[in-house]
Amino acid sequence: MKNLRAWSDHLRPKSQTPPQQTRKTTSLLVSVSVTLASTLLTIIPIYYSSLRYYPSFLWTSSVSSSSSTSSSHGHGVSAGVPSAKQFDLFTGEWVPNPDAPYYTNRTCWTIHEEQNCMKYGRPDTGFMKWRWKPNDCELPIFNPYHFLELVRGKSMAFVGDSLGRNHMESLLCLLSRVENPVEVQLQRWKLTGYNFKIAHFWAPYLIKAERADANDPSYTALFHLYLDELDPEWATKIVEFDYIIISAGHWFFRPTLFYENGQLVGCFNCYRENVTDLRFSYSYRKALQTAFRAIYSSRNFKGLTFLRTFSPQHFENGSWNQGGNCVRTRPFTSNETRLEDINLQTHSIETEEFKVAESEGRKRGLKFRLLDITFASLLRPDGHPSRYGHLAPHDNMTFVNDCAHWCLPGAIDAWNDLLLQMMKMEDGRSFDKTKSSWAFHFF
């Protein structure tokens, strides 16, 4: 009220306005402000509800910001639905979690060798003992019973590069506390007790791509990208799945040639005469558009699609092939770093194209959701394998430090905390006191 009066006094000429008139003016301003605020708070939720989409600033849950109604272990958590309580899941800090980790490389056998940091001698364990804490609420730790009840009789596909596989393997390890997954064929798994199927489709560009020279190693090879053509390895199979999680980004920084309508239109870092050198953003944006179009144009796909956003790398003192490394042992706080340069550009492309896809999908009765892990992952320079994703180098062996993938267990497990919470908010069921004694703690 004091600020409002000061504002109205500032607008009023310095004259002999009677105090009674000032009180009337102030009262009118207060009335107008309250009416406007009330109207906005009523219209905005109704508008977004009609769209069947809630942006991050309107995400809501019955999960309380107080520990009195929820715990960090996911006990007694109700699935959230849009209501008066609003919060952003994706802006926050990493806080200590002494109860973590909830699995190890001894209890989960699906960890990929290159992310099996404890097996290869990583000396510290502190990187496993953090959890993601949004600013406005408590995000429950992943509860495998809740997840498996949501997906009973359903299927989920991860589409993308090795970081997509990294994400899937984190999920498999988290679920293994309830039931060990069975690999029914290459990169396809099943949890028989819940009739839940999960798969990873290798599609680092999401679209059709071919190596220019089959003898070149993949990390230096030049690729042909057909920006308007789908990768049939996953695009023809999406109707089999109830959930699709697509992700990409890192491979688009490699040398590539771009084709549209069968014609060469440009490249990125190809250094060829008479070929226009375009930015990576050109191909990444086109690839996302093509992938999204495949999903929302499918006649038979009725599932829920997540775009998992870009996962930042943390190379310091050099790039990946020039001695760069990641040796930090603690997370950043939010005021120690910021999203910028390539990370910001990539994330911006994703959010822009997601908005278009979400709108197009909504017209067709399909749901698209943004699993925005970028900022949380930016704060975790300590979570990568570095040199602890393989045996120590010896004569005639060379390795590069890995500051792109994530150790298991570790920071990437929080991606599934977020995924589960978003799935619960979509489903709307209550999970109060459901299998609350699930937690197993190590270290």
Task: Pinpoint the alpha helices (H) of 374-412.
Answer: 374-378
Catalytic pick among 377, 405, 413, 417:
405
**CA–CA separation, 266 and 250 (whole Å):** 19
Q: Which of 372, 382, 402, 417 is catalytic?
A: 402
Q: Let me know: does 402 contact 327? Beta carbons within 8 Å.
A: no
**How many other CB atoms sit within 10 Å of the CB of residue 211?**
13
Q: Which structure tokens are listed for 38?
A: 């009330």
Q: Using CB atoms within 10 A of its CB, is residue 202 exposed (0-12), middle (13-18) or buried (19+)?
A: middle
Q: Which residues contact 414 (CB under 8 A, 6 or more apart)?
A: 131, 132, 373, 376
Which residue in the list 65, 162, 298, 436 is annotated as catalytic?
162
Any catalytic annotation for residue 382? no
Provide the token pair at 346: 């990539």
> Pairing state of beta strands 196-202 and 188-191?
antiparallel
Count of residues making up the chain = 443
Q: Is 224 a catalytic residue?
A: no
Q: Is 413 a catalytic residue?
A: no
DSSP characters for 278-293? --HHHHHHHHHHHHHH
- Nearest C-alpha neighbor of 238 from the set 205, 183, 199, 207: 199
Q: Which residues are catalytic?
A: 162, 402, 405
